Amino acid sequence: MENNLNNPKQTSERTVADEEIDLRELFTAIWQGRWIVIAVTTLFAVASVFYAINEPNIYKSEALLAPAEEQQNGGLGALAGQFGGLAGFAGVDLGGGATNKTQLALEVLKSRQFTNDFIQKYNILPDLMAVESWDLTTNTVKYDPEIYNEKTNAWVRKIEPPKKSKPSMQEAFKEFNKLILVDTDTDKESGMIRLSVEHESPAIAQQWVTWLVEDINQVMKTRDVAEANKSTEFLTKQLEQTNIADIRTVLYKLVEEQTKTIMFANVRDEYAFKIIDPAIVPEQKFKPKRTLICILGVLLGVVLSVMIILIKHFIRKDNY
């Protein structure tokens, strides 16, 4: 017996033999339960095919945008350190970096207020919350009759309080964020941005992207013009109250800068973002990937059925 214990070669051979026996045992158990594998896999395959077929096609439309370039004023930038306090009090940004304004525009685009105004302006709540499918031949959407009555324009969904039949702006905001994607990692060096919308209707997806770009440009333009007007009003009052030549010179330059901002905003529609590649109506669906869904369903069925067989096998083995 000591020879067997002290012989590593024999011990190794015995371990390999035990593993081979275990593997044969597992394969035998799986073979004996092959009908379970077939049944469960078939069930999952049918379920995945049924699920994939009933999932509506989702189309994705996207636009490639570039931040609008800001005109830099070297003279005002040089005066920023000396007169930055006065300019800041007037609401004038002497730094004027394009990156900051681009980031601000993106945050406004994703904000609750902008989204709510967008939904109400274009009356897209039914297209956002109640679409069931899209008809290719007529290019029209079909609404879920259990949610929205298109003929009477009435919301008929059954919901528990505090929610109401008509979706609130909070519900709409959450749903809208699921469909909108702002990708700022497309090209970090160039700063390009992809704005995309996913929807059952390709026409609606394209229209929403177009509206979003137009509206964010208009909103940022309106904000900057309003701020420039307020700054100009303040600076004009300061001019009336001071007789110091150097300060008056700086104030005049600040007023000139705000006037340029207003003129620049009024002559350019692409104020915050320039459209490099406009959104189009997609011809092919973006998702669901039905083939992949079916393959994953079959694989899940195989794995689950094998696990069931092995669990039953080891439970039976422990009982003996």
In a domain, 74, yes or no: yes
**Within a domain: residue 145?**
no
- Asked whether 227 and 91 are in contact (CB, 8 A), the reply is yes
Residues 178 and 314 placed together within one structural domain of the fold: no
If asked whether residues 233 and 299 sit together in one domain, one would say: no
Tell me how far apart the alpha carbons of residues 37 and 31 are, in angstroms, rounded to a whole number. Answer: 9
Residues 27 and 110 in one domain: no
Based on the domain organization, do 192 and 242 belong to the same domain? yes
User: Does any domain span residue 152?
Assistant: no
Q: Are residues 200 and 265 in the same domain?
A: yes
Q: Long-range pairs for 290-293 at CB < 8 Å and ≥24 separation?
A: 290/52, 290/53, 290/55, 293/48, 293/51, 293/52, 293/55
In this structure, are 109 and 226 located in the same domain? yes
- Domain-located, residue 154: no
Total domain count for the chain?
A: 2
Alpha helices in the chain (DSSP H): 2-5, 8-32, 34-54, 74-89, 98-109, 112-122, 125-129, 169-179, 202-241, 245-267, 290-319
If asked whether residues 108 and 235 sit together in one domain, one would say yes
Query: Do 180 and 266 belong to one domain?
Result: yes
Does 185 share its domain with 63?
Answer: yes
308 in the same domain as 271: no
In a domain, 157, yes or no: no
- If asked whether residues 81 and 115 sit together in one domain, one would say yes
Residue 147 falls inside a structural domain:
no
List phi, psi (to 5°) of 134: -130, 135
Closest CA to 172 of 128, 123, 120: 128
Q: Is 244 domain-assigned?
A: yes
Identity of the amino acid at 88: G
Same domain, 64 and 47: no
Residue 282 lies inside a defined structural domain of this protein = no
CA 14 to chain centre: 58
pLDDT in tens, the chain (320 residues): 445 545 555 555 555 444 444 778 778 878 888 888 888 889 999 998 998 888 888 999 999 999 886 544 444 444 444 455 555 554 455 554 444 788 889 999 999 999 999 999 999 999 999 999 898 888 889 999 999 998 898 999 988 888 888 999 999 999 999 998 888 765 566 678 999 999 999 999 999 999 999 999 999 998 888 888 888 888 788 777 777 777 777 777 778 778 777 887 787 888 889 999 999 999 898 888 888 989 999 999 889 988 888 888 778 776 65
Domain that holds residue 88: 59-140+169-277
